[in-house]
Amino acid sequence: MPNFPKLQVFFDQLVKDALICQKRQIKKKQQDVVGFLEALKVDYTQLDIACNEENRMWMRQNVPEEKKPANGIPLPPQIFNEEGYCGDYETFFDAKEDNMVYVFLGLPPPPGSKEAEQADKVLIVENGTRAEETNAEESLDESREVPVEERNGNAHGEEEQAADEEEGEGEGGEEEVAGGDDEATEGDKATADEEEEAMEETDKAQAEEEEEQEEEDLQSEEEEEEEDDLEETQEEEAE
C-alpha cells in the first residue's frame, strides 16, 4: 500500500483535454473540490490515477462497497484522510452546503468558523442539560432535613461573608472576561470573512468554467454545421 499523506484527493489528470460529457463533469467536480480546499487553505495532496496504476488500484480497493456505482468502478474525485474514506463529490458538496466540510474531512474546524460556532452551540446545549440534572440533584439534597444548628447562628454568618467575597471577585472577573470576549469576537469575524471569501471565489470559478464550457459547446456546434453545409455543397456539385 502506498505511503499517503494525511489528506488526499484522487483525480484523473487526463480529463483536462477531453471533450466527452462525462469527462467534462469529472473535470468540473475535481476543480470544485480542489478550489474550495485551496480557498480554505486546507493542506492536501492530489494523487493522479491516470498515470499511476498503484494509486488507481488503491483508490478502487478502499472506496466502500456501498459507495461504488453499479459497475463497481468509482470515479474521481474521491477524498481520503490518510486511510480513512471521507467521500466522493456528492457527499463533499452536501457537506459544503451544510457548513460541515471540516467534519466531512475529519479535521478540527478553525476557531471562529461557522462549524466551530455550531460545535459550541451543541456543547452549550449538552452542558445546559447536564447543569439541569445537577441542579435537580442539588434540589433533592436541599429538600432533606437540615439540623437547626446549621440553619441558624454561625452558619448563616459564614454564608453571608462568603457571598460578599464572591461578589467582589465577580466584579473583577467580569472586566477580564469582557476584554477577552472582544478579542475572540474579532478573531471569529476574521475567520468567518475568510470562509465567505472562499465561497465567493469558488462560485466565481464555477461560473467562469460554465461560461468556457458553453463557448466550447457553441464552437463545436458551429463546426458541425459547417461540416454539414460542406457535405451538402459537395453532394450538389457531384449531382
CATH for 88: 3.40.30.10
41: alpha, beta or left? (left if phi > 0; alpha if psi -120 to 50)? left
Q: Which residue has the higher pLDDT, 228 or 141?
A: 228
The rounded percent of the chain whose pLDDT value lies above 70 is: 63
pLDDT for 44: 94
pLDDT for 59: 95
In a domain, 141, yes or no: yes
List pLDDT tens digits, range 45-72: 999 998 999 999 999 999 999 999 988 8
- C-alpha 43/C-alpha 6 separation (Å) is 9
pLDDT for 195: 75
Does residue 80 share a domain with residue 43? yes
Q: Which residue has the higher pLDDT, 21 or 40?
A: 40
How many other C-beta atoms are found inside a 10 Å radius of the C-beta of residue 102? 19
Supply the pTM of this predicted model.
0.51
Q: Are 68 and 74 in contact (CB under 8 A)?
A: yes
- pLDDT average, residue stretch 147-167: 59
Q: Which residue has the higher pLDDT, 4 or 114?
A: 114
- C-alpha 97/C-alpha 119 separation (Å) is 16
- C-alpha 222/C-alpha 167 separation (Å) is 81
Does residue 130 share a domain with residue 102? no
- Which residues constitute the domain of residue 170? 114-181
Sheet architecture: strand order including 45-48: 45-48, 7-11, 78-81, 84-88
**pLDDT grade for 19, boundaries at 50, 70 and 90:** very low
Number of folded domains in the chain? 2
Residue 81 pLDDT > 90: yes
82: alpha, beta or left? (left if phi > 0; alpha if psi -120 to 50)? left
Does residue 163 share a domain with residue 92? no
Most confident range (mean pLDDT) of 4-8, 15-19, 105-109, 186-190 is: 105-109
Asked which of 163, 181, 199 is the last residue of a domain, the reply is: 181
In a domain, 205, yes or no: no
Residue 176 pLDDT > 60: no
In a domain, 50, yes or no: yes
- C-alpha 95/C-alpha 27 separation (Å) is 20
CA 115-40-93 angle, 5° bins: 65
Does residue 4 share a domain with residue 100? yes
Does residue 103 share a domain with residue 1? yes
